[in-house]
Chain A
Amino acid sequence: MSTMSAVKPSAGPEPYVSHASLFETAKRYLTKTKSQELLLRSIILIFVYLLAFCIRLFSVLRYESVIHEFDPYFNYRSTINLVQDGFYEFWNWFDAESWHPLGRVVGGTVYPGLMFTAAILYKVSKFLTACIKLRDICVFTAPFFAGNTALIAYLFGKELKDMETGLVAAVLMAVVPGYISRSVAGSFDNEAVAIFALVTTFYLWVRAVNQGTIASAVLAAFAYLYMAASWGAYVFISNLIPLYVIIMFVSGRYSRRIYVAYTTFWAVGSLLAMQVRFIGFNHVTSNELLSFNGVFVGLQVWEALVFLRTKLGTKQFGQLLYLTAVAAGAVGAAGTAILVLSGKLNPWTGRFWTLLDPTYAKKFIPIVASVSEHQPTTWASYIFDLHVLVFAAPAGLYFCFKRPTDGTIFLTVFALTAIYFSGIMVRLMLVAAPAFVLLSAIAISSILQSASKELRAPAAAETKTSPVATRRGRGSTSNEENITTKKSTNLIILGLTFLAMWSYSSHSIWVTSEAYSSPSIVLISGWGPHRVVLDDFREAYYWLRHNTAPDAKVMSWWDYGYQITAMGNRTVIVDNNTWNNTHIATVGRAMASNETEAYKIMRQLDVDYALVIFGGLSGYSSDDINKFLWMVRIGGGVFPVIKESDYLANGDYTVSSRGTQTMLNSLMYKLSYYDFGNIMTEHGKGTGYDRVRNYEIGKKDIQLDHLYEAFTSEHWIVRIYRVKDLENRF
């Protein structure tokens, strides 16, 4: 107890006394509104972080901490390589275990940001003697960065409008299902860190534009480096920021701050992004970054013109302007023509062409069209992935138009492009999610602010206006009342917002739990005592690992390449990187040909084992027979010998007795249904009843001449066949 408690709290600022007790200090701070606000804000942000982390842990809690899907296995293998062999080995890594016999230059064809992040986290945790296993670090990288993204969303909202918007943005970002879908625990993929880098780059860019200093722009360039190192969608940033500059110019809001920010960002950002081996000089020669470089040149020209105008007179300046415009136009056109004709300017890659012309991939690049994530979006994906944000986003756009600032114009441009792209490809819903979150944060925060301001105001207004009202009579009291809406209306609005947020969070939790938490390497169905776990994939890959020669080569469809290399530790022919279309087409041709032709191709490729995924016994519907038409299309795209019409009976794709002979004799059919004709799968149906296609198969007694069955997993999901050696001549 100290004697200073005699000081009255209402008499100005309290004198600082160093020997006050803890209780006294706490009370003194907690009674100030500013401290209360700080405490509330900190508690909210801590809870937001914890929420963002914990909501992504469903699959870990339900099953185990395992890496999901296909691409993360390659990232995991690369991280192991980085941690074990060191930085230089990883940077110069040539992987001979995939794309046999071509190999893959991993160091130059991978975005290393994710691997470096995981390796740094691993080293840091080892240094702090926490010693977390590398696999667990990889599994939990995504939720960790999701929490960071929520905090950056807070900073971004604060920069765009005010602190309340930031808090709403953080809360919405923590649980938005569109982001959760690619960042659950176990989804060790580029997007896990790339979305964090994207939002950080945008936040730092808006901050740089608002401040107009070189230091802030350099910081934004470093965030751009992180984005360029992490994901191929860095071209989105490098096209969006020039587009923003152009729009600001056209709408008359160009200022010196934008010039400083963009020039510094271009210079430092380009140099940094070129350090990534995969990008290299593409950053200045590629068509995809033409606007990035072009706007830089344009800005310098503009500022030079403005500078010259202040130095010369009007007439001279007019002449100079005319000459320069003509010369620049001629040089620009000629230069572009020469570069395009000589092939120096690299063309747009197919993935990005699809964004401008959605029908491009369907017509020209079957591999890009076959990826399920590249399909266009339906209306239901919006409400499923965004729930109430889908209603609040147009309102947010209205608020941005109502009071445009530099930051909100940037947000509008970002949101419009992101929403358009999300309509074209389902995968890009992930990029649109932060845009929706920020727009909705602006809308919701504005609604809450205006409602609560009016709820707080009448208490003060009544005491002030009552003497006025009594002087002026009844007419003015009704005037005063009408300027603020009734208290009940504001309470209704607050209540509705609360209900909307409640339903948003319960929807997000349900969606995460049901739809986005499946570790697709393990198939789980049922609840409690009826839970069935199909662990066939890992069973088969570990069989491969333990029971085949170390230099055995495995041929499978490209979907499973990463998993086979990572878990089975064997060389594969094609994998998910899909960089060589002809190689994939060769494998597709082998799968689609009859056994003798396929055997020739397999001997050429030096294949020892063939692996197929078969769902007919278990009901697993993403099996190779369902993907077979894509194999035919891709194979037929390179080898005209394979014609899609040969495999369709009257335009129908079927493996029943109506199926064509080419289909029933193909290697894929034989490998999938070998020995299946003797199995009774369902009561009341004949043998060989396929539980995915829901009919009996066409040919039931299958003989294999050049392969023999080596392994079939417990539920027949993975089937591995050994390719026989050539026959003895004597």
Chain B
Amino acid sequence: MPRLSSLEELRPSPRLICVLVLVSYFFVTAGIAYDIINEPPAVGGQTDPVTGAVKPMTFMPYRLNGQFILEGLSGGFFYTLGGVGIILLDLSRDKNQSVLFRNVYLALGLAITILSYLVCMVFIRIKMPGYMR
């Protein structure tokens, strides 16, 4: 149909959709629904028993079903970053790119993936001290 062919130009490119999907993935896995419904503070506070000063507490401990806003955002960020790392690893195999880009993608991809995994392990160990014991 003649009118539909102009839709082809209106259609967004797959690359744009992929970027939007990754952004929404970040927000969902950061627990945005929990933040909207329960409205936790951005960071919690822990009163030091000796001095009485309030130390900021970033991770709500011992509970998997509670979070602070910043904690959620950092978790979601590292999930997405890990995904981006694996994507970079695949981009490094593109034969049409120059050698420099391919090597950069490869190194960056490996570094980001390993970093995200290790950081998430550290986070979960802070949040749940009994993890893997």
Report which A residues bind B (CB closer than 8 A).
251-252, 358-359, 362, 372, 375-384, 388, 390-395, 397-399, 401-402, 404, 412, 416, 419-420, 422-424, 426, 443, 446-447, 450, 482-483, 485, 489, 492-493, 496, 500, 506-507, 510, 514
Contacts and interface: CB of A to CB of B under 8 A. Distances in A.
B88 to A, nearest CB: 9
Interface in B19-69: 21-22, 24-25, 28-34, 36-38, 64-67
A489 B92 CA distance: 11
B106 A489 contact: yes
Nearest to A314: B2
B34 A500 contact: no
B20 to A, nearest CB: 10
A424 B110 contact: no
Given A252-B7, A419-B28, A500 B86 contact: no
B64 A376 contact: no
B83 to A, nearest CB: 3
Nearest to A453: B93
Contacts, number: 148
The secondary-structure label for the interface of chain A is helix
A492 B30 CA distance: 30
Contacts of B106: 485, 489
The residue among B33, B66, B84, B110 with the most chain A CB atoms within 10 A of its own CB is B33
A388 B121 CA distance: 10
Contact of B22 (A391, A394, A399): A394
Given A379-B75, A379-B76, A358 B87 contact: no
Contact of A397 (B4, B18, B37, B71): B18
Interface string B70-106: 0110011001101111110110110100010010001
Interface in B85-133: 85-87, 89-90, 92-93, 95, 99, 102, 106, 110, 113-114, 116-117, 120, 123-124, 127-128, 130, 132
Closest A-B pairs by Cβ, 10 of them: A394-B83, A379-B75, A391-B82, A395-B86, A423-B28, A376-B33, A378-B67, A376-B34, A379-B72, A378-B31
A362 B33 CA distance: 13
B72 to A, nearest CB: 4
Contacts of B29: 379, 382, 390, 419, 423
Contacts of A412: 21
A378 B72 contact: yes
B75 A380 contact: yes
B90 A450 contact: yes
A483 B95 contact: yes
B87 A395 contact: yes
Contacts of A401: 14-15, 17-18, 21
A394 B25 contact: yes
Contacts of A393: 25, 83
Contacts of A390: 29, 79, 82
Contacts of B116: 391
Contact of B132 (A381, A416, A507): A507
Given A378-B31, A447-B89, A492 B18 contact: no
